[in-house]
Amino acid sequence: MEELKRNELATKGIGKLLFSMALPAVTAQIINVLYNMVDRMYIGHIPDIGAAALTGVGITMPLITVISAFAALVSMGGAPRASIMMGKGEKDTAEKILGNCAGALVVISLILTALVLLYGKRIMMLFGASGNTIGYAMDYINIYACGTIFVQLALGLNAFITAQGFAKVSMLTVTIGAISNIILDPVFIFGFGMGVKGAALATIISQAISAIWVVRFLTGKRTMLKIRKKYLRTDFKVFLPCLLLGLSPFIMQSTESLIAIVFNTSLQRYGGDLAVGAMTILTSIMQFSMLPLIGLAQGAQPIVSFNYGAGNGDRVKKTFLILVKASIAYSGFIWMFAMLFPQVLAGIFTSSPELIKETVIALRIYMAVSFLFGIQISCQQTFVALGNAKASVFLALLRKIILLIPLIYILPLFMEDRVRAVYLAEPVADFIAVTVTATMFSYQFAKIMRGIKKRQAYRESTDIAD
């Protein structure tokens, strides 16, 4: 089984291989978006309180994003390194990486659960909750916090399934949880009359089912890399490089929380609950446009990482070119749909005419240059797949911390319509970030390719000498 997978990653046609792995990964990401959106769809249509409850739950999303980001910190650094080690033929080292990451995910989940239960209300107020929405936010986040360990294991360990080339199994992890959530949501929300609490309970039960599935697979017979008890204890020589590489996806996800705070507090100041509610919907739609792109990159990651470790530069280059073309095509389609049919997207989340009207205006501003996201995600995620921690961290910081946050505060100073100015910060930051990313990647990627060729030449000369 292992040799078969090794040969596929090293020899199978890149186009077929990439899409055979990317399709399940993209499907998993789309399902994952629906997983996150389905609660809000049901909550937004609760009679009488739907709009306020939707806004309250929307305020919890930054904190939930942070919880997910810690899973990415461990796994999205560990999984590419495990693939690289497999490419080098160092299976034992790859299993050490898996074990260290699994142990770290458990410890992190316990710490996060305690912090949320102790300081949840303060965090929700910081994130922009008002007197009308804080009750709904706390109803949701207190229950969700109790299932943090399931979230960490399901999201974190699933990356190691994808890293081995088992993209379909990875997709099933998400699918099982999503289907469970879709079934349980209406039962708990409407059937048992639990409202927002029912949505949270349905979510953590679904995540628990996914977590059990992942752990069983990674301790079973089909997996190439197994979770072994002897590797669960942290070895910093093994774990620290994973942590450094995972900083980029961690920053990308965790700063969504910080961005949400800045957006929500600014919009609360200039436009009140209506503007914050619109931002909740915008965030959901943006997730839909971004996560499938990450799914494409996840499909490419094992191919890039394995062949980089094995020194197959041509396959690394060809994989990236196919990835970036497919990503640009997808992001262009999403942009066109958002520009032409914003009312359709808004209507998925709310039946309030006022909120739909505000969201339609905001969406066309907020996603004005989203057709460029294909370039941004492809370049940034390929840096991670190649183990280039420094470049990936810088690019993660650039778009959100260096550009977007200052623009959210600066642009309203120069525009009469301050609410629209806040929305405008997103496309301005995106345009600058993509330009810098593409330029930086072109230089660094060429340098990496030259390094692979030098290693190949050295190995060939050594073989001849022997």
SS3 377: helix
229-267: pLDDT as tens digits: 999 988 888 999 888 888 878 887 777 767 877 888 899
440-462: pLDDT as tens digits: 999 988 888 888 887 766 666 66
Residue 7 has pLDDT above 70, yes or no: no
Q: What are the residue boundaries of the structural domains of the chain, listed by start?
A: 7-455
Lowest mean pLDDT across 4-8, 162-166, 234-238, 270-274: 4-8
Residue with tokens 């017979």: 221
Residue 436 has pLDDT above 90, yes or no: yes
Q: Which amino acid is at 118?
A: L
% of the chain residues with pLDDT over 90 = 33
Model pLDDT, residue 257:
67
Q: How far apart are CA 29 and CA 191, in angstroms?
A: 29
Kindly write down the DSSP assignment for every residue of 39-62, as one continuous string.
Answer: HHHHHHTSTTTHHHHHHHHHHHHH
* CB atoms near residue 116 (< 10 Å): 21
Burial (0-12, 13-18, 19+ Cβ within 10 Å), 364: middle
Is the Cβ–Cβ distance between 356 and 285 less than 8 Å?
A: no
pLDDT band with cut points at 50, 70 and 90 for residue 2: very low
Cite the DSSP H helix spans in 341-417. Answer: 342-349, 353-366, 373-385, 389-397, 405-410
* CB atoms near residue 34 (< 10 Å): 16
SS3 386: coil
Is the Cβ–Cβ distance between 70 and 253 less than 8 Å?
A: no
% of the chain residues with pLDDT over 70 = 92
Residue 403 has pLDDT above 90, yes or no: yes
Q: Which residues contact 47 (CB under 8 A, 6 or more apart)?
A: none
Residue 1 has pLDDT above 50, yes or no: no
127 vs 414: which has the higher pLDDT: 414
Residue 114 has pLDDT above 90, yes or no: yes
Q: Is the pTM of this model over 0.75?
A: no
pLDDT band with cut points at 50, 70 and 90 for residue 439: very high
345-395: pLDDT as tens digits: 888 877 788 889 989 999 999 999 999 989 998 998 888 888 887 888 888
What is the chain's percent helix, strand, coil content, to nearest 5?
90, 0, 10
The structure tokens listed for 369 are: 């240059």
* CB atoms near residue 39 (< 10 Å): 24
Kindly write down the DSSP assignment for every residue of 249-318, as one continuous string.
Answer: HHHHHHHHHHHHHHHHHHHHHHHHHHHHHHHHHHHHHHHHHHHHHHHHHHHHHHHHHHHHHHT-HHHHHH
SS3 404: helix
Model pLDDT, residue 441:
92
Q: How far apart are CA 91 and CA 312, in angstroms?
A: 19
Model pLDDT, residue 375:
93
Q: How far apart are CA 428 and CA 422, in angstroms?
A: 11
Residue 323 has pLDDT above 60, yes or no: yes
Q: Which residues contact 290 (CB under 8 A, 6 or more apart)?
A: 373, 377
Backbone angles phi and psi of 229, in degrees to 5? -55, -40
Model pLDDT, residue 411:
95
Which own/partner contact pairs does 339-343 have at CB distance under 8 Å and 24+ positions apart?
339/364, 339/367
Cα distances (angstroms) measured from residue 17 to each of 4, 79, 328, 375? 13, 19, 19, 21
15-61: pLDDT as tens digits: 778 877 777 777 766 776 666 667 777 777 777 777 778 877 878 87
Name the average pLDDT for the chain: 85
Model pLDDT, residue 314:
86
Q: How far apart are CA 308 and CA 386, in angstroms?
A: 7
Model pLDDT, residue 13:
73
Q: How far apart are CA 129 and CA 352, in angstroms?
A: 20
Residue 305 has pLDDT above 80, yes or no: yes
The structure tokens listed for 92 are: 């034992």
Q: Which amino acid is at 103?
A: G
